[in-house]
């Protein structure tokens, strides 16, 4: 099985690939309508800098294979299953693979995950939610993602910053520019080479999620209308960044979806 946690290798390695100390943002996407006023000026109001090279640029010996792959989609879309299958495929092909999830992946981020998903925290504000997700992401990048990429490993991550754009930006109605600046601050130069969005009818995804043998978490409990806004957000992201972000029809069976994932990653 793909390793899911590695020991940190220290700030020197992390900063060599992904400068997480100071924001090294990306150029914002084309202007989109926003559903709310921007966040008040503060630590998130940083200027967007020139786009940083993706992780694959550091591995010219295998330019066709993405080194940092993220899987996205609404709750119940099946992405977690596909992330595990993809990691297994890559290992069988001889790659050193690290499988991660967001929020979480390291001790600090897992503790933040507990805060974010606890149904008892229904009163959490949108801004608090955004900043907690970014804090968990910043620690994951610093402690695990950046060192793994510097070591030449392939990183497969179940959710990354596109989830924040879709959930906190599009679905919560926060200013998209502010959300993207927060994303940039959290990840520095670490940007996915390939993002797969598992697109599914929210009602079908909700039925899948309801069949799970566990209680709903705080995000799942926000309801079908919320998931519909999230799904629309993911589609908008895919339309705006079609070279990096690919839509996968997730309304089918596991094997059919897996075949599409393999084709997109391995170019088969």
Residue 264: is its pLDDT beyond 70? yes
Token pair recorded at residue 145: 């993602």
At residue 255, the pLDDT reads 98
At 127-149, the pLDDT tens digits run: 999 999 999 999 999 999 999 99
Structure token pair of residue 81: 């299953």
- pTM for the full model? 0.78
**222 touches 76 (CB < 8 A):** no
**pLDDT tens for residues 40-99?**
444 433 333 334 445 544 544 444 699 999 999 999 999 999 999 999 999 999 999 999
Domain ranges of the chain: 64-266
Cα distance between residue 64 and residue 61, in whole Å: 9
Percent of the chain topping pLDDT 90 = 70
> Facing residues of 115 across strands?
none
The CATH classification number of 64-266 equals 3.40.50.300
Over the stretch 158-181, which tens digit does the pLDDT of each residue have? 999 999 999 999 999 999 999 999
């Amino acid at each position: 099985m793909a390793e899911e946690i590695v020991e940190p290798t220290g700030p020197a390695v992390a900063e060599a690939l992904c400068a997480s100390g100071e924001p090294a943002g990306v150029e914002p996407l084309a202007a989109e309508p926003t559903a709310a006023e921007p966040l008040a000026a503060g630590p998130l109001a940083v200027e967007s800098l020139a786009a940083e090279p993706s992780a694959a640029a550091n591995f010219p010996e295998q330019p066709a294979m993405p080194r940092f792959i993220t899987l996205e989609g609404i709750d119940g879309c099946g992405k977690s299953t596909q992330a595990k299958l993809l990691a297994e495929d890559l290992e069988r092909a001889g790659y050193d693979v690290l499988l991660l999830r967001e929020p979480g992946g390291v001790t600090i981020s897992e503790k933040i995950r507990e805060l974010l998903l606890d149904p008892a925290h229904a009163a959490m504000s949108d801004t608090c939610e955004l900043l907690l997700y970014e804090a968990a992401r910043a620690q994951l990048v610093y402690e695990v993602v950046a060192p793994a990429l510097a070591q030449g490993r392939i990183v497969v991550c179940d959710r990354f910053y596109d989830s924040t754009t879709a959930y906190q930006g599009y679905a919560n109605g926060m200013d998209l520019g502010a959300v993207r600046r927060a994303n940039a601050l959290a990840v520095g130069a670490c940007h996915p080479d390939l993002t797969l969005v598992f697109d599914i009818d929210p009602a079908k995804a909700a039925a899948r999620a309801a069949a799970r043998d566990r209680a709903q978490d705080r995000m799942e409990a926000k309801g079908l209308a919320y998931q519909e806004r999230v799904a629309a957000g993911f589609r908008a992201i895919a339309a705006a960044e079609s070279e990096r972000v690919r839509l996968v029809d997730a309304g089918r069976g596991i094997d059919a979806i897996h075949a599409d994932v393999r084709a997109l990653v391995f170019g088969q």
